[in-house]
Structure 1
Amino acid sequence: MTTSAGLRHNQGVKGPVAVTVRTIDTDPEPPRDVELIATDADGEELQVVLWETHDVTTDWRPDSTYEIWGGRAKRYIDASGPELRIHSNADFTVKRVPEPDTCQVLVVGDTHVGYRHRASSTKPGWAHAVDNRRTFTRSLARARALDVDAVVHAGDVFDHRITQVDKDHVRKEIQWIHDVGIPLYFIHGNHDNEAGNETLRQGPGIHLGGKTMTLGRDSVHISGLDYGAGEFSGSLPEAVAGGDPSTSILVLHDTPYPAVDETGSPIHRNDPNHLDLRDFLDRADEWLDLIVSGHMHVGSRGSIAGYETPLLVTGPTAEISKSTRENQPSTWLVTISEEAVQIERQKLS
């Protein structure tokens, strides 16, 4: 673990650096986005500066501890603040150190390994050179770096055209995190063909479609439904019997309807095969804690209009959306405790 004493001026932070937040300024002078005063593991004070352009969406809390990777260290001897200041950059990653009895899950979706085989005429111009094997590797490397309890994949692990090289690559990467004790749970998306599904079944990944499983000392119940083209592809989960205070998560690969973002604006494309969740939420809104959906290629947070259950739309892990280049490919860190389900977006630059 790096401490502030080991950071020189203008040095990249390879990390992790553990910092405990003391004060939070969420309204600094633009283009700064957030300024933190924190202390490191040795009790030395430092400042963390997050810039708007890096879009770091972390739930900062006073007296909570976070681990930082990336960023750049600056040292200034003046009266305006601590000598050491860590500035965010495109590689900046942060993880809140969980309290006891929490469960952390890395959520990804639409990795589309094999996308490079599509004809150039079917891709947006900026995606011609995209090789999703690299972002699949980076996503699972992040799971290992963050030492999460599990990875949840919301469908379309593969693209619809794949080779043996693609299948071997995915199998190897899933085995790699399995060997360090991180299970991967997945559902099938609309691009996951039988060759890809067979590859996943042969590996250590766990197919979640039509099932409910438990994580984190049985405190988290996670259910999954494979792609259903606007229909439920299996039995919907039910509330845990006996008023169990555990957390319930539903993972889909469809276009949930009517999905809205945090401002109330629709977040999905016009899909005639959308999956209407309103009847389900009429009975599940009180006990369901999170809906995760792949399939839509713009990552966002929101809800189903008129309901309280949060919705996380993963978006893809590479810039392959035809609608916009600025889709901010990301992984999502979900931290589950008795008090709350917290979601942190972590961009894959």
Structure 2
Amino acid sequence: MTSSNNKLDFEVTVEDAAGHTISLKVWSTHSLSLSLTEGHQYELENVRGRYWSQGGTRHYQLDSTKDLTVTELGPPGDNATRLLIVGDTHVGYRHRRRDKKAKGARELDARDRFRAVMNQANTLDADGVIHAGDIFDHVAIGSDRSFVINNLKSEFNIPFYYIYGNHDEPASRRTVDGATEDVSGIERLSTVGESVGEMDVTLFGIDYSYDNFPGQPLKTSAQSVLTNANVLVVHDTPYPVQNGKGHLMYQKRGADFRVAVKQTSVDIDLIVSGHMHVGQQGTLDEFQTPVLVTGAPTPINNRKENNNPSTWLLRVTEDGIDGITRHPL
């Protein structure tokens, strides 16, 4: 409903998961561009809420803020596959020498952020979590490994698909692989595709491999041909990937993603890359393959850019990739 109040852009009535009827007011001063579809589900972040009692009845109201973000989750019963994407959680970061930590992250305990990622996946009703490497920091100790394993086996019960990054030391790799080898729903990705949902998405993975990227080609299968989307997960400096302005994201030659695409007959619909701590989206050179650089969910970037700690929600339907939305953490 539009409003005659020039300070109020519009007002709608929504219902929360508990069945409470709530008025949502979006104010013109916040200069927001929102489109809401009746009957669809949404996640609201950075919204101001209040309630009061009147005549024995509790009333609720939500107001927009300048930072309000609205993510569509689809209609009730929506059968899209939703995957929460993250990288570079660096559990164990707190053990680094103070002079080796990013400014503003001296007191950071990355365990809290790893837990927050799993909580967010649960809140967004994700069908799984994709981790693009550096689960751990290189100084992680036994209690850090136990923390991660306990969370993966916890009440969240969310499938977890991962690769290893350059900070995932051999001890961390052995611990996670050994502790989760027979655990359903926790899978290390490889060149052999892993199916998610009713063959909705096939995930491939390449661990950080120094100068050996990309190694063996991805394995083509009936699954990878019939799936709605094939996603390749890597951990390296993306090259040559262009940003929205047509400039290379990184001038330094890292992993040449073109080689990975050329040496396989699998049609790659999205490349997800960890390693770089500033999240952004781009396109792989002449292939026009979308590339998502996850960034880090913790403020550990040493460069000038604000890494905007966040995760990403990938939505896949029978028509393929239906959208990627960023979620601040």
Q: TM-score, normalised by structure 1?
A: 0.76
Deviates more, 1:125-134 or 1:224-233: 224-233
Matched, 1:189 2:176: no
* Partner amino acid, structure 2, of 1:222: L
Q: CA deviation at 1:70?
A: 4.6
Per the alignment, do residues 89 and 258 of structure 1 end up closer, same or farther by CA in structure 2, a change over 3 Å counting?
same
Matched, 1:292 2:272: yes
* Partner amino acid, structure 2, of 1:212: G
Match of 1:109 among 73, 81, 87: 87
Mapped partners of 2:296, 2:315: distance in 1 = 21
Matched, 1:174 2:152: yes
**Number of the residue aligned with 2:55:** none
* Structure 2 gap segments, 5+ residues each: 52-59
Mapped partners of 2:110, 2:69: distance in 1 = 20
Tell me if the contact between 1:269 and 1:296 (Cα under 8 Å) persists in the aligned partners. Answer: no
Q: CA deviation at 1:117?
A: 1.2
Q: Which structure 2 residues correspond to residues 42-191 of structure 1 after superposition, within 5 A?
A: 46-48=24-26, 62-63=37-38, 64-73=40-49, 85-88=62-65, 94-99=70-75, 100-176=78-154, 179-191=155-167
Matched, 1:229 2:210: yes
Mapped partners of 1:262, 1:36: distance in 2 = 32
Match of 2:232 among 246, 250, 267: 250
How much identity, in percent, do the aligned residues show?
Answer: 33
Q: CA deviation at 1:237?
A: 2.4
Give per-residue Cα distances to partners, 1:63-115, cap 9 Å, x unaligned: 5431325510379xxxxxxx95522477x665422353210101110001111
Q: CA deviation at 1:329?
A: 0.9
* Cα RMSD after superposing both structures: 3.4
SS at match of 1:125: coil
Q: CA deviation at 1:229?
A: 1.6
Per the alignment, do residues 324 and 51 of structure 1 end up closer, same or farther by CA in structure 2, a change over 3 Å counting?
farther
Match of 2:198 among 217, 220, 233: 217
Mapped partners of 1:275, 1:116: distance in 2 = 29
Tell me if the contact between 1:49 and 1:85 (Cα under 8 Å) persists in the aligned partners. Answer: no
* Partner amino acid, structure 2, of 1:300: Q
Per the alignment, do residues 129 and 302 of structure 1 end up closer, same or farther by CA in structure 2, a change over 3 Å counting?
same
Q: CA deviation at 1:344?
A: 0.7
Tell me if the contact between 2:234 and 2:271 (Cα under 8 Å) persists in the aligned partners. Answer: yes
Q: CA deviation at 1:256?
A: 2.0
Q: CA deviation at 1:157?
A: 0.2
* Structure 1 gap segments, 5+ residues each: 1-21, 24-28, 76-82
Deviates more, 1:129-138 or 1:116-125: 116-125
Q: TM-score, normalised by structure 2?
A: 0.80
Matched, 1:308 2:288: yes
Mapped partners of 2:168, 2:174: distance in 1 = 10
Per the alignment, do residues 231 and 71 of structure 1 end up closer, same or farther by CA in structure 2, a change over 3 Å counting?
same
Per the alignment, do residues 291 and 309 of structure 1 end up closer, same or farther by CA in structure 2, a change over 3 Å counting?
same
Give per-residue Cα distances to partners, 1:21-51, cap 9 Å, x unaligned: x89xxxxx9xx9xx77644138876334599
Mapped partners of 1:322, 1:221: distance in 2 = 34
Mapped partners of 1:117, 1:169: distance in 2 = 15
SS at match of 2:94: helix
How many residues matched? 303
Mapped partners of 2:29, 2:313: distance in 1 = 20
